[in-house]
Amino acid sequence: MYTRISKLAAACLLFVSLLAAEGAMACTNFLFTKGATKDGSTMITYAADSHVLYGELYYRKAADYPAGTMFQVVDWDTGRPLIKIPQVAHTYSVVGNINECQLAIGETTFGGREECWKTPVMGIDYGSLIYITLQRAANAREAIKVIAELVDTYGYYSEGESFSICDPNEVWILEIIGKRAEYDTINGTPVLKKAYKGYKDGAVWVARRIPDGYVSGHANQARITQFPQEPAKWNKAKGKGLHTAISSKHLDYIFEPEVECVYAADVITFARMRGWYDGKDADFDFSGTYCPLTFSGIRACDARVYAMFNRITSGMQKYERYIMGDATQERMPLWVKPDHKVDVQEVMNLMRDHFEGTPMDMTKDVGAGPFACPYRWRPMGWTVDGKEYIHERATSTQQTGFSFVAQCRSWLPNKLGGIIWFGVDDTYSTCYCPMYCGITEIPECFREGNGSMVEYSSTSAFWLFNRVTNFCYSRYKDMIVDLQNVQSALEQGFVTDVNRFDSRVKDMGDKELTTQLNDFSNRQANKMMSEWNKLDQYLLVKYMDGNVKKEENGRFKTTEFGGCASPNMPEYPKWFYRQIVNDHGRVIEAK
């Protein structure tokens, strides 16, 4: 049977895994079913966290292609050309990570067993898998089928991934990892071992539907453990013998509503072949086999899911010892039932978290500095006097390129029903702006090519938000309040505007609706940029040089002669003065 990695081995692997996570996408996804939301929409969230990812809103228009057209797959992370695959006759339009049919997909990378990906084979990378699927699938079940067929036909290029997949009616989690055989080296050439005769590189995977009324999440640690399996005797007669689970041998049955779990036919047999599992099929644990728990997998990854669960579900404290890194404790469930139904604004705020209210609260320790800044610059792991320590890895983090809340609403036409509430930079200090899935024009501030990680653009939302946020880090506990006032007012206004707009345009014809969607989404983006530019200027004027200018009746206070009134000069906290004295008191003591 599989074994969990010991605490000692986990500690040895900690810094390797933390450093690996810094070099790859390290993201967070939360998943919300219809029965868990106030308005009956489904939602998934995604924070794309990478120190080199530029925040922009991708757009791929719908298109028709002649027979024989080939599509060049390019690795999303590196830009490296991979393979060419046949293009389909028609593709859907895609705005960010949602398509015109209200299908949305997000991801987090969990890595998993290095043997499954360390020696890559040609195939489709995880990012391309998302955007190709969005162009080809109309709902969540179609998406799972497309993904399964793509990796089976063309192979899988990336590390282990968790995908969030939702449409207006269902929410699924799919976890996948590469399938690599063992090879002998003969005369410098890799040769497949005899035990793998008939083997084909690809991927193993499991997909589960989140039960209605429940919420789930994943954050760089595989979350699917044991899962339902189809019966040994399968009745192939359509409509008969259907159970909650099917293997990829019977993939066409995925569209039967009774099916709630789908998995690669060889997900267990491949693990046996590699010597990673020898227990009963019924006891097989996908995560335990393909992504065994480590200290960092719990503390830097599962902890983010715990933080969200803990804010909306009672009784989560019993998992606190596990979340602190003890793999011997009971593991968190894949999904939980919230104590109350959430709306889109609460979901936005669930993406804003620094472990407040838990022992890992990043605003409380000395690392937060005198102004309670809940951010720690990299590396995450470090050593002092021979002892190893870590910084926490929260949902809100400085290196986010973009994030979103994808909201799918079954009671509206698709182009109007799907919204990607899109933001750039740190989730805590971003503003989620509504972009309808039916738009055909991306606002200039989010447009691809408007700036880059090495090219500043004054009209780019990414650079404006980074400028504001990076300034806030210098006096966080004071400046974040001013930012949140603007953030809250904008997002509340957007929600109100969306509700009014929906009512006004829901019965329009397709062409007129598209025009209105473009106009509305662009106006909201322009409004956001205008208000954030004002915020940028306001913060600079108010907090320049470590002082805090006084305000009166919404304006900065002046003298009777029109000059600037003497600003406040707030002291550091007493504990911080003591730290200075303990470190440097002999030199700076007044004599």
Q: Is 333 left (phi over 0), alpha (psi -120 to 50) or beta?
A: beta
Residue 37 — φ and ψ, nearest 5°? -115, 150
Q: What is the largest CA-CA distance in the chain?
A: 93
What's the rounded Cα separation, in Å, for the pair 362 and 377?
12
* Cβ-contact 104, 95 below 8 angstroms: no
What percentage of the chain's residues is helix, strand, coil (to nearest 5)?
35, 20, 40
Q: Please report the pLDDT score of residue 184 as a whole number.
A: 73
Q: Please report the pLDDT score of residue 242 as a whole number.
A: 64
Residue 140 — φ and ψ, nearest 5°? -65, -40
**Closest Cα partner for 98 from 413, 414, 519, 496?**
414
Going through 287-351 in order, the beta strands assigned E by DSSP cover 335-336
Residue 49: strand pairing partners: 400
What's the rounded Cα separation, in Å, for the pair 179 and 268?
12
What residue has token string 């406040």? 568
Q: Please report the pLDDT score of residue 200 as a whole number.
A: 78
Q: Please report the pLDDT score of residue 188 as a whole number.
A: 76
Contacts of residue 154, Cβ cutoff 8 Å, sequence gap at least 6 = 73, 83, 85, 123, 124
For the chain, the structural domain boundaries read 7-385, 412-450+457-546, 551-588
What residue has token string 């027979």? 67
What's the rounded Cα separation, in Å, for the pair 185 and 51?
37
**pLDDT digits (tens), the chain, 591 positions:** 433 333 333 333 443 344 444 445 589 999 999 999 999 999 999 999 999 999 999 999 999 999 999 999 999 999 999 999 999 999 999 999 999 999 999 999 999 999 999 877 789 999 999 999 999 999 999 999 999 999 999 999 999 999 999 999 999 999 999 998 777 777 877 777 766 666 778 999 999 999 999 999 999 999 999 999 988 766 655 545 567 999 999 999 999 999 999 999 999 999 999 999 999 999 999 999 999 999 999 999 999 999 999 999 999 999 999 999 999 999 999 999 999 999 999 999 999 999 999 999 999 999 999 999 999 999 999 999 999 999 999 999 999 999 999 999 999 999 999 999 999 999 999 999 999 999 999 999 999 999 999 999 999 999 999 999 999 999 999 999 999 999 999 999 999 999 999 999 999 999 999 999 999 999 999 999 999 999 999 999 999 999 999 999 989 999 989 899 999 999 999 999 999 999 999 999 998
Q: What are the structure tokens assigned to 320, written together?
A: 């606190």
What's the rounded Cα separation, in Å, for the pair 520 and 526?
10
* Cβ-contact 200, 90 below 8 angstroms: no
Give kind and range of the element (H or E) at residue 506: none
**Closest Cα partner for 104 from 42, 182, 193, 184?**
42
DSSP 299: I
Q: What are the structure tokens assigned to 584, written together?
A: 């440097």
Residue 175: strand pairing partners: 162, 206
DSSP 345: H
Q: Which amino acid is at 565?
A: A
Q: Please report the pLDDT score of residue 161 as a whole number.
A: 98
Dihedral sign, Cα of residue 518, residue 401, residue 210, residue 321: negative
User: Strands 245-247 and 261-263: what pairing?
Assistant: parallel
What's the rounded Cα separation, in Å, for the pair 404 and 48?
9
Its pTM stands at 0.93
What residue has token string 């015109």? 100
